[in-house]
Amino acid sequence: MAIKNPDTPWWKVVATDTLGVLLILLVPFLGPLPGPGGIPLLVAGFSLLAINHDWADAAIAYIKKHSASLRDIVFPNKTWAKWSWDTFSVLLLVGGTYLNFMADHWLVKAVSIGIMASSTTVFILNRNRIDVLDKFLRRTGSK
């Protein structure tokens, strides 16, 4: 297993690798939770491993290359599918908001926030709104 930068102190390599592996190991436990679940942890874990290892860089590049095709499968370019996903995300947002206002227990409130985050994620990913948002943010950041 080759290290990218051999001049890096061994304790930094061990610390970043350990934290990266721990984040990846947490994914199955947090994945079922509402909201993005384990996806941010998976990305963070691979990012930490990519600091020191080429194989993690290659895995990230592979995921970036094939994530657009996965999005095309989940969100097909058909009018009925776009409207269905939009309707689903709005209903999910309304249900999560209602649940948040009506809940008394902290756990139910946390689940409702996860539901609202999931609905927002679905809404942004549908109709390639994420690409429009990315272009807008890149354009405003370069001024």
Same domain, 100 and 139: yes
Instruction: Give me the pLDDT at residue 129, please.
Output: 86
Same domain, 33 and 21: yes
Residues in the chain: 143
Cβ contact 54:61 at 8 Å: no
Rounded Cα distance between 26 and 24, Å, is 5
Same domain, 24 and 61: yes
pLDDT in tens, 120-130: 988 988 888 88
The DSSP secondary-structure symbol of 127 reads G
Same domain, 69 and 80: no
Cβ contact 127:82 at 8 Å: yes
The residues, any chain, with a CB within 8 Å of residue 5's CB and separated by 6 or more, are: 52
Joined tokens for residue 51: 């600091």
pLDDT in tens, 58-108: 888 888 787 777 778 888 889 999 999 999 999 999 999 999 999 999 999
Instruction: Give me the pLDDT at residue 35, please.
Output: 61
pLDDT at 143 over 60: no
> What's at 119, amino acid-wise?
S
Same domain, 69 and 97: no
Final residue of a structural domain among 41, 74, 107:
74
Same domain, 22 and 40: yes
- Show the domain range for 86: 75-143
Specify the pTM.
0.56
Q: Count how many domains the chain has.
A: 2
- Stretch among 2-11, 32-41, 83-92, 111-120 having the lowest mean pLDDT: 32-41
